Structure 1
């Protein structure tokens, strides 16, 4: 991968035994030519998610390094992000790509952005389900409408056009993550929302790109109305306190570190 950035693809996984093989099958030769390492981070799944990932990853990932990791505790989706982001920082990657393990997003949507060099002058390149060019399959009108309303509310607060608060396909420049300013952010599904607010507050350059999105056999962990009110509370906290809100403790159960163990590894990352 000469002259290409060092890219780590992080796949958070929880109860994705049926879906994780399909996610890893997305990594054809073209995708692997861009990706140095793929790390599946299993958040203590009660099923055989990690075992299914190891079987498929060992077969599919022949060009990229493959790592299967299990968290030492149940850190939540946000906590898994923190574990992977620290791994990316400590191992000198240029970019970290987040691809959810439930097979709703498609990493092929990112490849044209990389080929066009769209990642080179931004800090965050965020997949968006609700902008021109996006493609939704199996997503209800009710949820689409709700997401658009929340996108509009967040846009009003940050005075920028926001097309998605948190999809399953995002890219971050690793150098912006070194300070670990996100340690106190929520460890649950709202982590992405606070990360987005922090990106604008810290004057990072954010760009959205359209993605495809489908809902088939995925298991949702979201309680919609409870989640909706929590997101409104986060937005209100940021609106009134700005930096003070972002520096506060938002975790239900703070962890000193977000550690885990590598359960399987094949290939080697270039240095």
Structure 2
């Protein structure tokens, strides 16, 4: 089964090279059939030039430029319309997500024939390195609210790093989120629409370069909107959007 990795990148010239090199090293060592699809989200630095240089070295790398509208969700959605694999992972450009965990996600999907594999940094075996204290508190509160509202046990819905089969991505369309709220839209729709999933521990490491693109003050209402949308679908749609077995 061919694996695609969609990586949104906005002004990630300092990080994207190390991220791609690490992915290629790990996935090639495992002799996996894969592609890396980087979505340059109209970067203002030299991210595009770095990608062109990397492409000359790695046949598995492809990149496209999302000229607009821009934003994390738009960039990921742009990639999810263009990947070639049988399954697709969303990963960050700053190497906060481990390629070794990606292999674990893929092997779990293959072994259990799951429609999705979700990571959790906050279960036994998971870990975070240099996670900013305030963001960590907000993360745990937000995930607790999501669990309560949606009546689910999964405790890391906001984690962008997840793996989906192609038919799962098709099954959770249309996408609504233009920004980081896409990180909860995808898994919540997959869960409430009846796609099978496994949860495995993963690690997260704070970025070495640049600044996080997530602006918490700007995102609160957007997360709430998607959460309410998924709540309404779960309890009032009468199963109209559920996977048809």
Q: Which TM bucket (shorter chain)?
A: 0.7 to 0.9
Name the counterpart of 2:230. Answer: 238
User: Contact 1:124/1:170 (CA < 8 Å) preserved in 2?
Assistant: yes
Distance 1:73 1:230, change over 3 A: closer
Q: TM-score, normalised by structure 2?
A: 0.84
Contact 2:172 2:186 in 1 (8 A): no
Match of 2:163 among 163, 167, 171: 171
Q: Residue deviations 1:152-208, cap 9 Å, x none? A: 22112222212212324221100122357233x111111121122211221111222
User: Alpha-carbon deviation of 1:29?
Assistant: 4.2
> C-alpha separation between the residues in 2 aligned to 1:240 and 1:148?
23
Give the match for residue 243 of structure 2: none
Unaligned stretches of 5+ residues in structure 1: 248-271
Q: Which residue of 2 aligns with 1:212?
A: 203
Q: Which runs of 4+ in 1 moved over 6 A?
A: none
CA shift at 1:220, angstroms?
1.7
Give the secondary structure class of the aligned counterpart of 1:188. coil
Superposition deviation, residue 118 in structure 1: 5.0
C-alpha displacement of 1:78:
1.4
Q: How does 1:109-124 map to 2 (within 5 A)?
A: 109-117=101-109, 120-124=112-116
CA contact (8 A) 2:71 2:179 kept: yes
Aligned to 1:50: 48
- The one-character-per-residue Cα deviations of 1:27-59 (angstroms, maximum 9, x if unpaired) are 244413224211111010111112112223433
1:39 aligned partner = 37
**Is the aligned partner of 1:201 residue 2:197?**
no
**How large is the Cα RMSD of the aligned pairs?**
2.4
Say which of 183, 186, 189 aligns to 2:180. 189
Deviation, 1:117, is 5.0
Higher relative contact order (CA 8 A, sep 6+): 1
2:222 aligned with 1:224: no
Task: Give the SS at the match of 2:23.
Answer: coil
Count of equivalent residues: 234
Question: Contact conserved, 1:163 with 1:208, CA < 8 A, in 2?
Answer: no
Match of 2:76 in 1: 81
- Where 1:26 maps in the other structure, the secondary structure is helix
Give, in whole Å, the separation in 2 of the partners of 1:240 and 1:182. 16
Q: Which residue of 2 aligns with 1:26?
A: 22
Contact 2:8/2:72 (8 A) holds in 1 = yes
Contact 2:160/2:183 (8 A) holds in 1: no
